[in-house]
Amino acid sequence: MLALLLNERLTERGGDALPMNRFRPNIVIGGWDGPHTEDRAHRFAIADTELGYTRLAICCAVTTVDQQTGTRAGPEPLRTLAAHRRAPDGVAFGTKYAVLRPGKLSVGDEAHVTSWGEPEL
């Protein structure tokens, strides 16, 4: 949902949609009701793994690099994100979690939120 919202905003500004690999995610969860749900998911389980929220993920200049070619592709997505997701430490997109209980994850496993909290922004 979050990537779709970002790509809508990019294309509205006349830019191109960007692939998720620009953000180098370890886990991508789909199917949540709205954008930034991950800001409130403070603990969740996937298969036998449990993760705990640590902080918002602050974007760096690597998000402006085309991961296929290794070339810098311009100011996006940082410019668009800065208009909507500015946090005290920078531009936020996604969240970071600590492993509370290690386990094996597989593509298609469901994420079950076990604790909700307040977003930082």
Has residue 113 been placed in a domain?
A: no
Q: Does the residue 120 lie in any domain?
A: no
* Domain-embedded: residue 7: yes
pTM: 0.86
Residue 24 sits in which domain range? 2-108
- Residue 103 and residue 95: Cα distance in Å, rounded? 20
Number of domains composing the chain: 1
CA distance linking residue 119 with residue 78, whole number of Å: 21
Mean pLDDT (whole number) for 62-70: 93
Residue 53 lies in a domain: yes
Residue 114: inside a domain: no
pLDDT tens digits, one per residue of 6-17: 999 999 999 999
Helix boundaries (H) for 1-121? 2-12, 78-84
Q: Is position 19 within any domain? A: yes
Domain for residue 27, yes or no?
Answer: yes
Q: Is the pLDDT of residue 2 over 80?
A: no
78 domain residue, yes or no: yes
